[in-house]
């Protein structure tokens, strides 16, 4: 059954981070907005990614705190049981409350939400099908924000029961006795943290020689040591060749140093990356230019077709929700005639392991590749007063500055609170702040943020508490 066509200023295909932020921004600027979503508002981030994993990681954080209870004066006379069903219900409650709040926000902003599967008919039309009902949306401008899906490698046994992606792993009714995780990127390491804290035996298999292979080597090397001390096993420079079902378990064939070994596990989690949702026939028919499977956009987030914009995972690069927020906002502004651009150098990356990791700006490798003369300052958590009070001794911060101007170029933090503290360094990189400013700025004492102050001071060889 065909419904009357809807006329709108901006049609947005996809209600995830890029799409819904663009909808809110465009509505704020006075545009009529129609948001098309086939699943839940909030997309992967809210429903199957950022939020549910962080809810589970808080449980992991509590588990690690209980292990250190004796240090803080508590004598636990028995093991504290973990009720996984309560963990899951808490996670679902958080997701549900945030989703309801987001739907209310969009309604208050007068954003029309169309539920159903969108199909692009042309640069100014999208068909939306929900069951037997089809609605055509005619628009002045269009934003494609269809996101991504978990990637599945072409591998024998990949479709066996108990071979899961992150989507399914979030909804397990019980914690498996053992888990083999394919991939040591952010998703793989966060799930390794969750499952290990919940009592599972965890093995991580990574095809490259380092965990978090795209990030700073000193940080990732230290995180690797810490996670091994926590009891997580790693096989680096190794590749899963086949998964078999045998005697009620999974047998995983791993190739390592030209030798094959078999590992038994109850569950395999595939965390080898994500696949961009750009290969639909309607996308090809539209004719937007692609590059390595991603929609190519200019610095205004406009595609090769005038009036059609794209934002979020579909444009490639770092698949981060906060980057998608920013891209959606920039796309909405430009679609409505404003001038807006995004500085990708100031996009922080965060990994919510225990301890956390956060990065922003240039790394040492980036500086060398660009021919930039630089200095590095470092300060360890173990000599910070608040870190010791918190029982969080592991970790350090590194600050990279331009050797001549002392401008802060980048920062890497490994340790408690890293994902919160990185915002100070993001502001510094975005505004071209010199190291002297943060080294001399009064930070409250005692706080973890003093680590950044001291690391900035160390770039100038004048950290206060470093010998």
Cite the beta strand spans of 123-175 per DSSP E. Answer: 125-130, 133-144, 148-150, 163-164
Helices (H), 347-449: 364-370, 385-390, 418-431, 435-440
26 conformational bin, left if phi > 0, alpha if psi -120 to 50, beta if neither: alpha
Contact predicate 54/130, CB 8 Å: no
> If we measure between CA atoms, which residue out of 109, 140, 106, 124 comes closest to residue 9?
140
Length of the chain: 467
In the residue annotation, 443 being an active-site residue is answered as no
**What domains sit in the chain, N to C, each tagged with a CATH number?**
6-149+275-344 (3.50.50.60), 163-272 (3.50.50.60), 355-459 (3.30.390.30)
The reported pLDDT for the residue numbered 77 is 84
- Active-site residue, from 104, 406, 443, 445: 445
Q: Which residue has the tokens 């996308």?
A: 283
The reported pLDDT for the residue numbered 215 is 85
The reported pLDDT for the residue numbered 216 is 80
The reported pLDDT for the residue numbered 123 is 94
Instruction: Kindly give the confidence (pLDDT) of every residue in the chain, 467 residues in length, as a single tens digit, with 9 standing for 90 and above.
Output: 666 789 999 999 999 999 999 999 999 999 999 999 999 999 999 999 999 999 999 999 999 999 999 999 999 888 889 999 999 999 999 999 999 999 999 999 999 999 999 999 999 999 999 988 899 999 999 999 999 999 999 999 999 999 999 999 999 999 999 999 999 999 999 999 999 999 999 999 999 999 998 888 899 999 999 999 999 999 999 999 999 999 889 999 999 988 999 999 999 999 999 999 999 899 889 999 999 999 999 999 999 999 999 999 999 999 999 999 999 999 999 999 999 999 999 999 999 999 999 999 999 999 999 999 999 999 999 999 999 999 999 999 999 999 999 999 999 999 999 999 999 999 999 999 999 999 999 999 999 999 999 999 999 999 999 97
Q: What are the phi and psi torsion angles at 344 (to 5°)?
A: -70, -20
């Amino acid at each position: 059954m065909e419904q009357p066509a809807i006329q709108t200023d901006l049609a947005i295909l996809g209600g995830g981070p890029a799409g819904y932020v663009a909808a809110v921004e465009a509505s704020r600027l006075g545009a009529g907005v129609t948001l098309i979503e086939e699943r839940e508002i909030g997309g992967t981030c809210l429903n199957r990614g950022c939020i549910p994993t962080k809810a589970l990681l808080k449980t992991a954080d509590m588990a690690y705190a209980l292990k250190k209870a004796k240090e803080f004066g508590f004598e636990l006379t028995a093991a504290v049981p973990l009720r996984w069903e309560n963990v899951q219900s808490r996670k679902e409650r958080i997701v549900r409350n945030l989703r309801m709040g987001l739907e209310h926000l969009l309604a208050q902003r007068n954003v029309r939400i169309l539920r159903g599967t969108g199909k692009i008919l042309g640069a100014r039309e999208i068909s939306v099908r929900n069951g037997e009902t089809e609605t055509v949306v005619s628009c002045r401008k269009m934003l494609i924000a269809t996101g991504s899906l978990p990637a599945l490698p072409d591998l024998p046994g990949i479709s066996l029961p108990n071979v899961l992606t992150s989507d399914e792993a979030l909804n397990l009714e019980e914690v498996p006795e053992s888990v083999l995780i394919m991939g040591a990127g952010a998703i793989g390491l966060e799930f390794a943290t969750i499952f290990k804290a919940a009592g599972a035996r965890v093995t991580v298999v990574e095809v490259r020689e380092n965990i978090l292979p795209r990030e700073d080597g000193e940080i990732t090397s230290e995180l690797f040591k810490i996670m091994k001390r926590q009891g997580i096993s790693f096989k680096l420079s190794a590749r899963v060749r086949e998964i078999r079902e045998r005697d009620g378990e999974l047998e995983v064939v791993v190739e390592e140093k030209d030798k094959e070994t078999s590992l038994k596990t109850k569950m395999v989690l595939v965390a080898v990356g994500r696949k961009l949702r750009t290969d639909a026939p309607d996308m090809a028919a539209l004719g937007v230019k692609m590059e390595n499977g991603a929609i190519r956009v200019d610095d205004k987030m406009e595609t090769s077709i005038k009036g059609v914009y794209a934002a979020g995972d579909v444009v490639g690069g770092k698949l981060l929700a906060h980057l998608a927020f920013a891209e959606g906002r920039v796309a909405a502004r430009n679609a409505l005639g404003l001038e807006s651009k995004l500085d990708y150098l100031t996009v922080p990356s965060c990994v919510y392991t225990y301890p956390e990791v956060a990065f922003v700006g240039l790394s040492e490798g980036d500086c060398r590749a660009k021919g930039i003369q630089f200095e590095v300052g470092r300060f360890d958590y173990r000599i910070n007063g608040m870190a010791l009070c918190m029982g969080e001794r592991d970790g350090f911060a590194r600050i990279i500055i331009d050797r001549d101007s002392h401008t802060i170029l980048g920062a890497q933090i490994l340790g408690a609170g890293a994902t919160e503290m990185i915002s100070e360094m993001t502001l510094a990189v975005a505004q071209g702040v010199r190291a002297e400013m943060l080294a001399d700025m009064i930070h409250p004492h005692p706080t973890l943020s003093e680590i950044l102050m001291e690391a900035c001071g160390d770039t100038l060889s004048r950290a206060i508490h470093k010998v």
